[in-house]
Amino acid sequence: MHDSAYIGGIELGGTKTVLAIGNCAGTILRRHTVPTRDPAAVIADACAFFNQSSLRIDALGVGAFGPVVVDPKAPDFGHLLDTNKPGWSGFNLMGALAQGIAAPARLVTDVGAAAIAEQRLGALRDVDIGVYLTIGTGIGGAIVSNGELLPALLHPEMGHIALHRLAHDRAPSTCAFHDDCAEGLVAGPAIMARFGASLDHFMPDSAEFALVADYLGQLCSNLVLTLSPQRIVLGGGVGLAPGLTSAVQQSMVRQLGVYGPRATAQTGYLCPPAWAQDAGVIGAMLCAAGAVSSTAAVRV
């Protein structure tokens, strides 16, 4: 793709959808945010934004909430799977976009797009393999290696890894499917349900903070043991709570014990994202810019 091409990006989030037009370097030139409502309304907004702009896009990158079929070879590519978001279960997202926007498109998850942005331009830029973990309304994760997401059967669902419950913890899980998964124990809704307030209402030396750090430390230690990433980024509304990153790292190192590589104890092994905003839509644009000439690109 020539360097002067314009690239479209869509970050389809649970509460808002970010639409952007930028260049191959990931610089945003036009940007518009709409609330995520029913699929028809969001698709209409996206088509109007891209089709009425004076900047004609040559490719479109989409970072969508999951679960979503991201494998371009799958017969149901681009469809949302069962989700609690009204109207979105089974929706053919990429088919609907193709009807209204004439540009080759690539689909990744929202967290996958953010991970791409962090590896090409941000906190994971100097590592070969990194993990991006977002802890907010849910817990999601992505693995990037040398600038690309690892190929996957569906996409990682790190938030649903089972953890060891602390002996005194009797709080019910907020995950509809699991009693002891990370998302059900310490995603934003779980923290609200068990403490009656979000994590930033608690001091880093509080018991509430320690419980959250313990569980997230377990999650990160599992990721270290299975993927051996060179760095883990903690993002999302919960993940960015002041003091949480260092508390989770201490918990992770303690739980890894002798199996923890020395680097995992160094400052910055766990770190916040470099892109506090727009990582998803920038990553989506970068995916599209890099994919048009590759086998991962799909003309829709």
List residues binding Zn ion (CB under 5 A).
160, 175, 177-178, 181, 183-184
H or E segment and range at residue 31: strand 28-35
Q: Which is closer to Zn ion, CB of 61 or CB of 188?
A: 188
Within 10 angstroms of residue 153's Cβ, the number of other Cβ atoms is 6
Least separation in angstroms between CB 211 and Zn ion: 18
181 in Cβ contact with 159 (< 8 Å): yes
Classify 95 as helix, strand or coil.
helix
Q: Based on CB atoms, which residue is closest to Zn ion, 184 or 239?
A: 184
Which of 32/160 has CB closer to Zn ion?
160
Nearer CB in complex with Zn ion: 105/139 = 139
Q: In the complex, what is the shortest distance from the CB of residue 242 to Zn ion, in angstroms, rounded to a whole number?
A: 27
State the nearest-atom distance from the C-beta of 162 to Zn ion, in Å. Answer: 8
CB atoms within 10 A of CB 226: 11
Of residues 114, 124, 31, the one with CA closest to residue 284: 114
Nearest CA to 19 out of 83, 100, 128, 135 is that of 100
Contact status, residue 290 vs residue 87, Cβ threshold 8 Å? no
Alpha carbons 280 and 16: distance in angstroms, whole number: 12
Please identify, using beta-carbon distances, which residue of 14 and 72 lies nearer to Zn ion.
14
Where are the strands (E) in 44-104, listed by range?
59-64
SS3 of the chain: helix, strand, coil, percent, to 5: 35, 20, 40
Q: Taking the complex as a whole, how short is the minimal distance between the CB of residue 163 and Zn ion, in angstroms? A: 10
CB of 23 vs Zn ion, minimal distance in Å: 39
**Nearest distance, CB of residue 179 and Zn ion, angstroms:** 9
Q: Which is nearer to Zn ion, 4 or 177 (CB)?
A: 177
